[in-house]
């Protein structure tokens, strides 16, 4: 008790830098690629994921750290590091990650693929004659016409190399024996993997497009002698909005600096590790890249092509059997979703359970004559979203449809504007987000005029209204027609429409105004209980944990004796198991085939347990700069189901990684223990919840009628 007064829980030494923690997460993803118990093509997928993750990381995080350095912003981060220090550490850590990435690819995946008769050639020299012939033919027919080689000389300046594109640099010599630099972009419209003929049936062979182009580069510069070539790829500090995770004063600081900044500064240059010195020198000079930003890669640049490879047709045995989300038992016998919700709150656990009910919810509402209005927030939606179609349809049917479209959803901005316009055309009332806040909450409200008055049906979720990602992300949602939640839901939309906030809320907790305080209150309540000698426990599952206030409150709770179990998939700035600080905190991260995405919060509350779910992580941006909704799970039956989710994930010893006091993540010791894979377990759970006849796959069979026999 006394110690708690002495320890300063906000001391930077108790915190992990978020970028380094993020890199650790990618190590965990990469470890899936090395897990031999996983089917081979699934493993290639994980390498591809780390590759695209790393790209995004550079574009967003590293870029904004660079901005800080340029702006001479000196304020240290949560772990006490300045931007320059962070960049140094990130540089080392990413190099280590990239090394493992390529050693996984070269030493583990490629041999394993070869053993399965799948050949990915990184050098034309390895091809057979027939294959070379076929590749050359492909080059002439398909590739050559779309190439635009560009040489750099006195009259032709260095061209603009576009962000994230793969290019080939070449040093060529003209007849005057002068060395000339030339570059050609590997066309992004063509597939990276070019299929090659194989002799053996069931075998596959591919060569990478850039290799083929390098092989044929002579035909592009016919009057020149090609001295050397190398693929390269750059990452620019694109003109993206400043990442909002930092303090407001930073934003102002950077805005001032923005004008002075060189447009689209290069923050990473990837080259083949065998690149010619002179060639690299030219690239570095022309792209104004510092030595520490050059990454020499031992293998093909940009491994995202492995995602395509993992979908290789005809090799299903190298993949996990596709999982089909099962139906929701509560909705089996009830074609009308509103009648089903009337019977009681319904919990949906995606992707184990189908996302279809959510789609149906909006679709049925659009066609239901009793429905007056549909209101929904949309953050990221799928390409051809049935939800958007239903919303438009509802508006055409004369329903009042209000849709909040978040235009600031990163990387989805353009996509969102297009379909927002579509909704407007259909007659929906479209709200384009709130100034200064991202609307991240996931809520849908259907107002229905029934016999005994207005009834409000609400869907609240932890994931986006996106039917494609709902098959890959683990998320939870509830349907309810509780009057109190309905009132709150209406208030949320009134607030989003620009009206005054309600004087108070019934059940929903809404960020940015009330959520942080509520979480701190809930944590401190457990602390109080622990100090009073009562049992106290917190369990929370989220994607990232990096809010300093919350972490300090958790440390305080831990020191007071609260048992804290955290399931944090990605970034975790909290350090677990530090004596006197976080001795009672256990952190695990589950990285599996599905992307863990749900947010669940549990507080023991001296026996009257409370469960919450919602759209917010414990991150400053979620708590302060976004509209988020956390909702309590009130129904006892539903609470049990949520309990089950937490229990199984806390027992997972297959896909879980445990955070150690030294900041590393290790897989738990499985010796003598029953193996628990939470994602598999939930698949089984979902199937078991269905009545027997639903489990049998119903195939449509036409039964031919028997010929009628004569009576005699």
Q: Between residues 150 and 372, which has the closer beta carbon with respect to another protein?
A: 372
597 catalytically annotated: no
Work out whether 490 is an interface residue with another protein (CB under 8 A).
yes
State the nearest-atom distance from the C-beta of 449 to another protein, in Å. Answer: 6
Q: How far is CA 206 from CA 114, 146, 181, in A?
A: 11, 20, 29
Q: Which part of the chain contacts another protein (CB under 8 A), choosing from 180-188, 226-234, 256-264, 486-494?
A: 486-494
Q: Which part of the chain contacts another protein (CB under 8 A), choosing from 41-49, 101-109, 498-506, 571-579?
A: 498-506
Cβ neighbours of residue 455 closer than 8 Å, sequence gap 6 or more: 338, 342, 447, 448, 449, 481, 486
Work out whether 503 is an interface residue with another protein (CB under 8 A).
yes
- Considering only residues 392-411, where is the footprint of another protein by CB under 8 A? 400
SS3 172: strand
Cis, peptide link before residue 253, omega less than 30° from 0: no
The rounded distance, in Å, linking the Cα atoms of 416 and 437 is: 16
HSE (side-chain half, CA atoms, 13 Å) at 64: 18
Q: Between residues 48 and 490, which has the closer beta carbon with respect to another protein?
A: 490
Tokens for 158? 């260095």
State the nearest-atom distance from the C-beta of 446 to another protein, in Å. Answer: 12
Position among 451, 662, 669, 693 found at the interface with another protein (CB under 8 A): 451
Q: Do the Cβ atoms of 82 and 90 come closer than 8 Å? A: no
Q: Do the Cβ atoms of 683 and 323 come closer than 8 Å? A: yes
Tokens for 481? 């027609």
Work out whether 499 is an interface residue with another protein (CB under 8 A).
yes
State the nearest-atom distance from the C-beta of 5 to another protein, in Å. Answer: 24
**Number of H-type helices and E-type strands within the chain:** 22, 27
Work out whether 517 is an interface residue with another protein (CB under 8 A).
yes
Kind and range of the H or E element at 337? Answer: helix 337-343
The rounded distance, in Å, linking the Cα atoms of 74 and 477 is: 42
Q: How far is CA 538 from CA 531, 560, 631, in A?
A: 15, 12, 17
State the nearest-atom distance from the C-beta of 537 to another protein, in Å. Answer: 26
The rounded distance, in Å, linking the Cα atoms of 168 and 270 is: 11
Note the residue count of the chain.
Answer: 712
Nearest CA among 182, 184, 152 for reference residue 167: 184
Q: Between residues 489 and 689, which has the closer beta carbon with respect to another protein?
A: 489
Q: How far is CA 694 from CA 83, 701, 702, in A?
A: 56, 16, 20
Work out whether 369 is an interface residue with another protein (CB under 8 A).
no
Work out whether 704 is an interface residue with another protein (CB under 8 A).
no
Q: Between residues 220 and 629, which has the closer beta carbon with respect to another protein?
A: 629
Work out whether 506 is an interface residue with another protein (CB under 8 A).
no
Provide the β-strand partners of residue 151.
Answer: 182
Phi-psi region of 506 (alpha: psi -120 to 50; beta: other; left: phi over 0): alpha
Position among 453, 533, 672, 691 found at the interface with another protein (CB under 8 A): 453
The one catalytic residue in 349, 440, 529, 657 is 440
Work out whether 494 is an interface residue with another protein (CB under 8 A).
yes
Work out whether 447 is an interface residue with another protein (CB under 8 A).
yes
| Cα–chain center distance at 143 | 33
Q: Which part of the chain contacts another protein (CB under 8 A), choosing from 180-188, 322-330, 487-495, 643-651?
A: 487-495
Nearest CA among 325, 326, 327, 385 for reference residue 594: 325
Work out whether 513 is an interface residue with another protein (CB under 8 A).
yes
- Considering only residues 412-441, where is the footprint of another protein by CB under 8 A? 429
Q: Which part of the chain contacts another protein (CB under 8 A), choosing from 179-187, 209-217, 513-521, 596-604?
A: 513-521
Work out whether 446 is an interface residue with another protein (CB under 8 A).
no
Work out whether 2 is an interface residue with another protein (CB under 8 A).
no
Q: Between residues 595 and 616, which has the closer beta carbon with respect to another protein?
A: 616
Work out whether 514 is an interface residue with another protein (CB under 8 A).
yes
Q: Which part of the chain contacts another protein (CB under 8 A), choosing from 80-88, 314-322, 446-454, 644-652?
A: 446-454
Work out whether 454 is an interface residue with another protein (CB under 8 A).
yes
Work out whether 342 is an interface residue with another protein (CB under 8 A).
no
DSSP symbol at 464: -
State the nearest-atom distance from the C-beta of 486 to another protein, in Å. Answer: 9
Q: Between residues 490 and 527, which has the closer beta carbon with respect to another protein?
A: 490
Q: Do the Cβ atoms of 283 and 269 come closer than 8 Å? A: yes
Work out whether 501 is an interface residue with another protein (CB under 8 A).
yes
Q: Which part of the chain contacts another protein (CB under 8 A), choosing from 405-413, 448-456, 569-577, 623-631?
A: 448-456
Q: Do the Cβ atoms of 167 and 286 come closer than 8 Å? A: no
Tokens for 220? 């592009």
SS3 175: coil
Give the binding-site size for another protein (rule: CB under 8 A).
25
Q: Between residues 72 and 449, which has the closer beta carbon with respect to another protein?
A: 449
Tokens for 514? 């009330």
* Neighbour tally for 689: CB within 10 Å: 18
DSSP symbol at 686: H
Kind and range of the H or E element at 483? Answer: helix 483-496
Position among 145, 500, 672, 711 found at the interface with another protein (CB under 8 A): 500
Work out whether 452 is an interface residue with another protein (CB under 8 A).
yes
Q: Which part of the chain contacts another protein (CB under 8 A), choosing from 200-208, 322-330, 449-457, 551-559?
A: 449-457
State the nearest-atom distance from the C-beta of 429 to another protein, in Å. Answer: 8
Binding residues for another protein (CB under 8 A): 372-373, 400, 429, 447, 449, 451-454, 490-491, 494, 497-505, 513-514, 517
* Residues with a known catalytic role: 440
């Amino acid at each position: 008790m006394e110690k708690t007064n002495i320890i300063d829980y906000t001391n930077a030494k108790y915190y992990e830098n978020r970028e380094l923690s993020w890199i650790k997460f990618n190590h965990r993803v990469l470890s899936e690629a090395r897990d031999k118990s996983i089917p081979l093509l699934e493993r290639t997928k994980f390498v591809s994921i780390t590759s695209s993750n790393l790209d995004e990381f550079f574009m967003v995080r590293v870029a904004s750290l660079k901005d800080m350095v340029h702006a001479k912003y000196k304020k240290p981060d949560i772990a006490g590091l300045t931007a320059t220090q962070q960049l140094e550490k990130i540089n080392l850590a990413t190099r280590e990650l990239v090394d493992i990435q390529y050693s996984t690819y070269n030493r583990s995946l490629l041999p394993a693929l070869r053993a399965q008769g799948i050949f990915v050639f990184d050098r034309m020299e390895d091809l057979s004659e027939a294959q070379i012939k076929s590749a050359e033919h492909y080059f002439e027919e398909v590739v050559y016409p779309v190439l635009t080689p560009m040489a750099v000389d006195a009259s032709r300046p260095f061209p603009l190399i576009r962000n994230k594109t793969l290019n080939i640099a070449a040093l060529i010599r003209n007849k005057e024996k002068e060395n000339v630099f030339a570059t050609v972009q590997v066309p992004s419209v063509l597939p990276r993997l070019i299929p090659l003929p194989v002799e053996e049936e069931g075998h596959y062979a591919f060569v990478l497009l850039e290799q083929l182009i390098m092989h044929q580069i002579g035909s592009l510069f016919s009057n020149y002698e090609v001295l050397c070539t190398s693929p390269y790829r750059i990452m620019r500090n694109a003109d993206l909005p400043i990442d909002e995770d930092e303090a407001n004063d930073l934003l102002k600081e950077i805005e001032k600096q923005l004008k002075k900044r060189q447009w689209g500064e290069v923050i990473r240059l990837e080259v083949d590790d065998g690149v010619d010195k002179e060639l690299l020198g030219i690239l570095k000079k022309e792209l104004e890249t510092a030595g520490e930003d050059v990454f020499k890669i031992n293998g093909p640049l940009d491994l995202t092509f492995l995602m395509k490879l993992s979908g290789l047709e005809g090799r299903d045995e190298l993949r996990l059997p596709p999982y089909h989300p099962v139906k929701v038992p509560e909705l089996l016998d009830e074609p009308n979703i509103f009648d089903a919700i009337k019977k009681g709150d319904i919990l949906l656990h995606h992707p184990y359970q189908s996302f279809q009910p959510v789609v149906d919810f909006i679709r049925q509402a659009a066609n239901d004559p009793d429905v007056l209005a549909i209101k929904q927030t949309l953050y990221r939606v799928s390409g051809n979203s049935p939800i958007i179609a239903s919303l438009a349809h509802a508006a055409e049917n004369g329903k009042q449809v209000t849709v909040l479209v978040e235009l600031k959803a990163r990387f989805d901005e353009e996509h969102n504007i297009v379909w927002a316009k579509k909704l407007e055309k259909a007659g929906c009332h479209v709200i384009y987000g709130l100034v200064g806040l991202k609307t991240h909450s996931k809520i849908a409200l259907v107002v229905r005029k029934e016999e005994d008055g207005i009834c409000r049906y609400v869907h609240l979720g932890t994931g986006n209204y996106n039917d494609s990602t709902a098959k890959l992300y683990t998320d939870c949602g509830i349907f309810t027609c509780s009057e109190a939640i309905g009132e709150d839901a209406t208030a949320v939309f009134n607030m989003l429409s620009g009206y005054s906030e309600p004087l108070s809320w019934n059940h929903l907790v809404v960020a940015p105004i009330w959520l942080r305080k509520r979480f701190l209150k809930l944590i401190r309540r457990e602390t109080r209980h622990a100090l009073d000698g009562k049992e106290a426990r917190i369990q929370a599952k989220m994607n990232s944990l990096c809010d300093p206030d919350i972490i300090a409150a958790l440390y305080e709770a831990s020191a007071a004796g609260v048992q804290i179990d955290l399931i944090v998939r990605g970034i975790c700035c909290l350090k677990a198991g530090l004596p006197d600080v976080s001795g009672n905190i256990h952190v695990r991260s589950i990285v599996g085939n599905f992307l863990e995405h749900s947010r669940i919060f549990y507080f023991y509350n001296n026996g009257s347990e409370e469960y919450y779910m919602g759209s917010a992580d414990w991150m400053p941006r979620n708590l302060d700069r976004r509209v988020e909704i956390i909702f309590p799970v009130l129904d006892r039956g539903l609470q049990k189901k949520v309990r089950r989710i937490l229990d199984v994930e806390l027992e997972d010893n297959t896909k879980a990684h445990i955070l150690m006091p030294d900041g590393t993540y290790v897989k738990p010791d499985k010796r003598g223990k029953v193996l628990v894979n939470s994602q598999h377990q939930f698949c089984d759970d979902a199937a078991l919840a269905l009545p027997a006849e639903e489990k049998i796959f119903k195939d449509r069979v036409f039964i031919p009628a028997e010929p009628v026999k004569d009576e005699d």
